[in-house]
Amino acid sequence: MSSSQPSLFARTLRYMGMTTLDQQTMRATYANEDSKFFPCDGNEIHYRVEGRTDSDAPVLVMLHGIMASLHTWDGWVKELKEDYKIVRIDVPAFGLTGAIANGRYEVERIGDKINALLEHLKLEHFSLVGSSLGGYISWELAAKHPSKVDSLILLDAAGYPMPLPWLMKLLTTPILRHAIVLGTPRFMVNITLGDVYGDRSKITDSAVQYYHDMMLARGNRQSLIRLFEELEHMTAERVKQVKAPTLIMWGNKDRWIPPANAKLFARDIPGSEVIMYPGVGHIPMEEIPEQSAADAHQFLSRVLVKPAVSKPKKEAVSAS
């Protein structure tokens, strides 16, 4: 065996999640030439700016969900980069951004950090795309800064009070909230992904590896517990303040956030549109990236003032 290869003991510790990956290791593995880091209140927020570079390009800001990272949008970036300037962000508490330095995990506070980054990038107008927790942050931002948000796309978004998913319940119990910090086995990540995908056959080994690594990054497991605790007190009071044209996307096999919540968003955001995806789970942008990106593009092309369309997109069949 090459001396550069980790020992069986080291590999076992990593598989069992009984190790921590430092920032240098994470950046070497998951940052690339597009990665940038914005200093903000003790954190360095990891983000990438991709796609069109001209001044007329419509801007999409993409926010991922809990336990994920900006990599969850890989499929959408591939499909949309010719038509949009895309800013995707490792939401504070996760990814290469890591645990929140000041310990404030309230959704509104996380939104303030993201808004600070967008102001740093001098983005006065943009469309927000948010999945799950990222959807919660997105509609909160749209309600708080209506003059900035041109449109809003919510994928299986959080916000309305609901029974917590089984994993959240387990990890907020007194015993397991401490145990997860000591060990997070890879098979547990595999089980969790099986719970958020509608079609488990679409889960790849590389997806399991990157989700596991994101869990093992220093401070991220503690952040997960803190966010679960925050989500026990979700409130959708400000949803009705959203004024931006809104597209609501949902997988009808979502086991984490009830598909019925799509109707609640549609009820409270006047003029919003709903697409329900048969057989799809909690993260449509990963499970059906081409179809969901095409639906997003068609929506944006209709509602944006300057819908710069460089080439026609193939139509996707969806159930609404």
Total domain count for the chain?
1
- Residue 288 belongs to a domain: yes
What pLDDT does residue 219 have? 86
82 Cβ contact partners less than 8 Å away, ≥ 6 residues apart: 51, 52, 310, 311
Q: Is 312 inside any structural domain?
A: no
The answer to whether residue 309 sits within a structural domain is no
pLDDT at 316: 45
pLDDT tens sequence for the chain (320 residues)? 444 677 888 887 776 767 889 999 999 999 999 999 999 999 999 999 999 999 999 999 999 999 899 999 999 999 999 999 999 999 999 999 999 988 889 999 999 999 999 999 999 999 999 999 999 999 999 999 999 999 999 999 999 988 777 666 666 666 555 556 666 788 888 888 999 999 999 999 999 999 999 989 988 888 888 888 888 788 899 999 999 999 999 999 999 999 999 999 999 999 999 999 999 999 999 999 999 999 999 999 999 965 444 444 544 444 44
Q: Given this model, what pLDDT does residue 128 score?
A: 98
Q: Judge whether 319 lies within some domain.
A: no
Residue 212 within a domain: yes
Full strand arrangement of the beta sheet holding 126-131:
35-40, 43-51, 85-89, 59-63, 126-131, 149-155, 246-251, 273-277
CA–CA separation, 4 vs 191, rounded Å?
31
- 161 contacts 235 by C-beta, under 8 angstroms: yes
Quote the CA–CA distance of 171 and 228 in Å, as a whole number.
8
What is the pLDDT, as a whole number, of residue 318?
A: 47
Report pLDDT for 307: 41
Residue 297 counted as domain residue: yes
Domain with 188 in it: 11-303
At 215 the pLDDT is 87
Q: Is residue 308 part of a domain?
A: no
On whether residue 316 sits in a domain, the answer given is: no
74: CATH: 3.40.50.1820
